[in-house]
Structure 1
Amino acid sequence: MAASSRTAPGRGRNWAELPDDVTASILLRLGAIEILTSAQMVCVTWRDICKDPLTWRTIDMRVDPDDQRHIGYDLEKMCRHAVDRSSGNLIDINVDHFGTDELLKYITDSSRGIKHLRLAHCYDITNEGLIEAASKLPLLEDLEISYCLFSHEPLEVVGASCPLLKSFKFNKRWCTWPDEESNDDALAIAGTMHDLRHLQLLGNNLTNDGLRAILDSCPHLKSLDLRRCSKLKLGGKSGTRCVERIKKLWLPDDPFDNSELVHADSDYGSYDEDNPSAFSDVDLMFDDEEEYEFSYGNDNEDYDMDDYDVYPWLF
């Protein structure tokens, strides 16, 4: 009887035996924080992959403020270190809850090839900080700004400085009580972002006039999200025009789930149909009955903790 190719019972397969490209894809899905605080310490193979600049083309620094594991970490310091590891190869970065003017300047000074940038709950990034950053992002294609404190002024600079911008999310907190109508954001978008394909304006106070300006000036729009835009009245010509023009349309009263902003993994990448996500799908053809185990001494190597990038945020 032929010997079985399955792993012997009670003994798992070594994760370090996976091809490097598969391992790199798995590590990318962990996020930058998990890579820096744990994954890079598993074994020499993982450490080497975690130091490869190409591993850091995407830096996902999203944090859940309710996650106790991140308490005590210097997230800005970690982000700077991740940017350094990219060695200028960074194209996609997400800064959530801890972004500052100084950090954004560091990112854009170090990486001029960024295509995708996401800022959420970054109350310490000012209009001036975003304006300075935008001038250094000529290749930017996808920008998401959610729950920040920016006015319309930096939007004009973003549009003028980033001619390749295809996807823009500018989401605000909305109130249940009446608030002033304002088309400032809409006019800034209409005046400079003529090549947009995808636009999301959650909780904006634009009116029908602002919407018309966007539709007139952005002829390539394919998707438009207007949920919670309570000042719009889309029962007449404006609504009909949206339906006729836009392939994917969300109206002001359409359902909204806040997780779409916080954990929108399916949207975490470019809206470009040719590159729908910053993460590539890898089909891992593992046998369902095989188990993989971590090795902390592959090839009987002795590790010195000085070999690992141990930083103060780990303690």
Structure 2
Amino acid sequence: MGDSSEVRAWEELIPDALGLIFRNLSLQEVLTVVPRVCKSWGRAVSGPYCWRDIDIEEWSQRCKPEQLDRLLRVLIARSCGSFQRLSVSGLASDSLFSFIAEHAGSLQTLVLPRSEISDAIVEQVSSRLSNITFLDVSYCKKIGPRALESFGKHCKSLIGLRRTMHPLEVADKVSQDDEAFAIACSMPKLRHLEMAYLLLTTRGVLEILSRCKELEFLDLRGCWEVKLDEKLVKESYAGLKVLGPQVEDTYERSFWDECSEEYSDTSDYSWEFMDDDDDGIWDDDDQGFEGLEVRFYGGGFNQAYAGFHWPPSP
């Protein structure tokens, strides 16, 4: 390159461009390393440019409820209502779910496994989630057909639903066909449906098949009471792939689709968040975002996660 070539410094890139670049970094790096580089990078990570895709599912499985509440509110506030995907595990309260819904004008993908949300709060705020196209409410023990029907009623663009459970979580139930009927009646545009280990019967599944005409994939692993005629399914529902009820693997790979391929047992950590600095930008004499403390601890999966391996077929 000649002397006349223009060289542009990284710090001069517009925030939108920086945001696209920073999406390739880990959450840890975006929150703790990037802001310390320069003021322009600090502005980028404290604005909406980096937070259109908020994925803290892996981290949220290891943090305290108050830490999760604090971080999630900070990131959603920074997104300024522009986040299109939210993936988080273990929401501990209805109030936090309500906060998400209040800022969900652009939200399209909502992944909330193991959350403590209730039927009542879903019925109250689901009208604010009208743009959602994919929903994951797996292992959410406190919701049932009322919540599913409300989601379907208000989320008219919903084409993907993941509602899987662990057998121990449904051991006290007799049947969950009422959930199947709620899905069938309110979600006619579904293309992808996962219902592994729900206590369904053939009748409930046939109701879904008769009403969800666009269905392309149906996961029924562990739904032992479902008896479908494979020949009839192929003839009557061309293009539909049905998985199960038999379970071939003891480790369910699709459950971890959203997780990093590079996950290792040494990546366990815990973050402690205190007050967030609304300005988000350092002055020359600043040493970092005021009141933000991040701590990392080594470790791996513990016994709390052992129960999420799929059991073999009976």
Q: What TM-score, normalized to structure 2? A: 0.72
Aligned counterpart in structure 2 of residue 146 of structure 1, from 123, 138, 143 = 138
Aligned CA distance change for structure 1 residues 120 and 37 (closer, same or farther; 3 Å): farther
Aligned equivalents of 2:210, 2:101: Cα separation in 1: 32
Letter of the 2:217 counterpart: S
Distance in 1, matches of 2:230 and 2:114, equals: 35
Cα pair 1:197 1:222 within 8 Å, conserved: yes
Counterpart position of 1:206: 200
Deviation at 1:48, TM superposition (A): 2.6
Q: What letter is aligned with 2:290?
A: V
Equivalent residues, number: 266
Between the aligned partners of 1:87 and 1:65, the Cα distance in structure 2 is 21
Superposed, 1:207-226 pairs within 5 Å as 207-226=201-220
Q: 1:314 aligns with which of 278, 294, 304?
A: 294
Residue aligned with 2:49, SS:
helix
Partner of residue 11, structure 1: none
| SS of match in other structure, 1:228 | coil
Aligned counterpart, 1:35: 30
Structure 1: segments with no counterpart, 5+ residues: 4-13, 267-300
| In structure 2, C-alpha distance between the alignment counterparts of 1:248 and 1:15, rounded to whole Å | 48
Can you give the 5+ residue segments of structure 2 that lack an aligned partner in the other structure?
3-8, 261-281, 296-314
Asked if residue 304 in structure 1 is aligned to residue 296 in structure 2, the reply is no
Matches within 5 A, 1:37-52: 37-52=32-47
Measured in 1, the distance between the counterparts of 2:190 and 2:182 equals 13
Are 2:71 and 1:78 equivalent residues in the alignment? yes
Residue 141 of structure 1 aligns to which amino acid in structure 2? T
Separation (CA, whole Å) in 2 of partners of 1:133 and 1:95 = 18
Measured in 2, the distance between the counterparts of 1:196 and 1:92 equals: 19
Match of 2:120 in 1: 128
SS in 1 for 2:100: helix
Tell whether the 8 Å contact from 2:84 to 2:107 is kept in structure 1 after alignment.
yes
Q: CA RMSD in A?
A: 3.4
Deviations 1:40-97 (A, max 9, x none): 3343343232123132111112135776xx5798121111011111112122111212
CA–CA separation in structure 2 for the residues paired with 1:112 and 1:18: 28
For 2:83, the equivalent position in structure 1 comes to 90
Q: Which amino acid aligns with 2:36?
A: M
Question: What secondary structure does 1:63 align onto?
Answer: helix
The 1:236/1:61 distance shift into structure 2, 3 A limit, reads closer
1:204 is matched by which residue type in structure 2? L
Structure 1 segment 1-315 matched on structure 2, within 5 A:
23-30=18-25, 32=27, 34-64=29-59, 70=63, 74-122=67-115, 124-149=116-141, 150-175=143-168, 180-235=174-229, 239-240=233-234, 244-256=237-249, 257-265=251-259, 303-305=284-286, 308-314=288-294
**Structure-2 separation of matches of 1:164 and 1:232:** 28
Structure with the greater relative contact order (CA < 8 A, sep ≥ 6): 1 or 2?
1
Give the distance between the partners of 1:31 and 1:93, measured in 2 at CA. Answer: 15
Distance in 2 separating the partners of 1:178 and 1:85: 42
Percent identity, aligned pairs only, is: 26
Q: C-alpha displacement at 1:144, in angstroms?
A: 0.7
Instruction: Specify whether residues 161 and 225 from structure 1 end up closer, same or farther in structure 2 by C-alpha distance, changes over 3 A only.
Output: same
* Larger strand fraction of residues: 1
SS at match of 1:252: coil
Shift of 1:109: 0.9
Distance 1:86 1:106 in 2: 13
> What is the distance in 1 between the residues matched to 2:88 and 2:144?
19
